[in-house]
Amino acid sequence: MNSLLFRYQTTIVRSLSTLSNYMKSTSFDYVVCGGGTAGCIIGRRLAENPNVSVCIIEGGPSDEGNETVLDIRKWADLLGTDFDYDYGIEEQLFGNSKIRHSRAKILGGCSSHNAGIAFIAPDVDFDRWERQGAHGWNAKSTRKYYDRVFEKVNLETIAPLNPLNAAFIHSCKLVNIPELAMNSDTFVSKFSDCCGYIQLNAKGFSRYSSARAYLHPLSSLPSNLTVLTNTTVTKLIIDEQSKTVTTVLTSGGEQIKVNKECVLSGGVFDSPKLLMLSGVGREEQLKELNIPCIVNLPGVGENLLDHPESVLIWESNCSIPEPVLQRYETVLFTKTQSYSDYPDAMFHFGLEAYDTHTKSYGYPTSEQAFCCTISVTQAKSVGHVRLRSNNYRDPLKIDFQYFTDKQKHDERVMVAAFKLARQIVQQSPFEKWRKCEIAPGEHVQTDEEISHYCRQVMNTLYHPAGTCKMGDTEKDEFAVVDSQLKVKGVKNLRVADASIFPDMISVNLCITCMMIGEKCADMIKQE
């Protein structure tokens, strides 16, 4: 009966609540909480062993057959929809409190929901991770897991067809920033000032999310893999004596037994939330919310990182040419501060007026406009995530503490990047296109004025990370997981998503989260 039920679930991929008449309690060897960017990969790889049973639990629906989701050109149409958790943030002292952090509520997670920009993180980022206690996560060790991702996930480089993109690249070279292939070994191994055409995890107009690459078609999944959609995990039951996860509870009241291991892949906000609701976190904070503390782990929810972003917008003299794929198709990396060893700023050039926040603050906009988003690659400001109550339905307190670093590194990089963006657009290739700067406008000139504008209208690259930090759990009291991604103090629980970042990587996160999924699955299989 159980094997028949498994086949029924994986073929139809229905919510667990619709099956509650058949199943109020069942058990699996491995339960993956979160069918997102990493979770889809972990579940599918573990199910390659026919002798184990695996369950992936996803809070949103399936992506299969949904053209709005699968069409990479329509990524912006997903923001703020039913496919988006759309998290708000706490009041910011120095940044924009109106920012909404889009997190995907759909199979494939943010890989089903983002702009598809695909990078291997530079070697320097991983070598720094290892120095911080993430043993075995150096550049050489992680590269083979990227390679496994690329066996499944198709990558395409934007073709140099758009004349406005070409104007950006040409202008970058005129200010002595060389063009480089973003997938080259030179970019990864010798990370330095460069510009170029981005890669996307796509094939033509169709995105290659982890769900598409590893799970589609859902009707052909092996019988030992169960995928439950529209199902929210509300709590882990952890045995206080053995310190093992025994059961996963869902919003429908179902109890899913864990025979071997549980893996959290809920993302930067929901993985620490689930840990805290389950009694794993800073003891005094849990007690204040009447949550029994099973493991006192003060790092849960700390170390919240991001790529803070601002934007300059120009009105165009000419009609903006149609994008090749998704409107943000060229990129620049540069070192703005003399003390930085590697590029500390990242630009994405946009074939539109990215006026999400500029418009709300009264800056003009235009149908015929282009923009340059500027972000800090290694921001020093660090925030945190807190529970608001012991009810899983209540929103988190998410406080990034943007631009609060005492060194003012983030502010200095943003101001310097702003000035460079202006310098690039003043170059001759833009003469045909450049009509006038409309946000903020050329009257904004002093460093103080530039800083105020950048922080006022800032947004996010949607790259939160770090809230279940990986490190040496014997030496670092704020490390939540060790190098095997095991949660300190719980024997059969791992975390595998961007929350495990010890610090921020210098590029877009999605492909690195896929790599984490591959590496996590391999570590479990080796044990």
Q: How many CA atoms lie within 13 A of 388 on its CB side?
A: 14
Residue 214, domain member (yes or no)? yes
Residue 363, domain member (yes or no)? yes
d(CA 208, CA 156): 10
Residue 7, domain member (yes or no)? no
Provide the pLDDT for residue 253. Answer: 87
Provide the pLDDT for residue 453. Answer: 98
Instruction: Tell me whether residue 463 is one of the annotated catalytic residues.
Output: yes
Q: How many C-beta neighbours within 10 Å does residue 352 have?
A: 18
Which token pair is 168?
């950006």
CATH of the domain at 116: 3.50.50.60
Total domains present in the chain: 1
d(CA 197, CA 121): 16
Three-state DSSP class for residue 3: helix
Any binding-site annotation on 385? no
Residue 4, domain member (yes or no)? no
Residue 14, domain member (yes or no)? no
Q: Which domain holds residue 314?
A: 28-526
Provide the pLDDT for residue 135. Answer: 96
Greatest CA separation for the chain: 72
Provide the pLDDT for residue 252. Answer: 85
Three-state DSSP class for residue 70: helix
Three-state DSSP class for residue 171: helix
Residue 118, domain member (yes or no)? yes
Name the phi and psi angles at 478, rounded to 5: -95, 0
Residue 521, domain member (yes or no)? yes
- Cβ-contact 319, 479 below 8 angstroms: no
DSSP code for 323: P
Catalytic residue of the set 216, 357, 409, 463: 463
Residues 6+ apart with CB under 8 A from 83: 60, 61, 69, 104, 105, 106, 112, 113
* Average confidence (pLDDT) per 10 residues, the chain, 527 residues: 35 40 71 98 98 97 94 92 96 97 96 96 97 96 97 97 98 98 95 98 96 97 97 97 97 94 98 98 98 98 98 97 97 98 98 96 97 98 98 97 98 98 98 98 98 98 97 96 98 98 98 98 96
Residue 478, domain member (yes or no)? yes
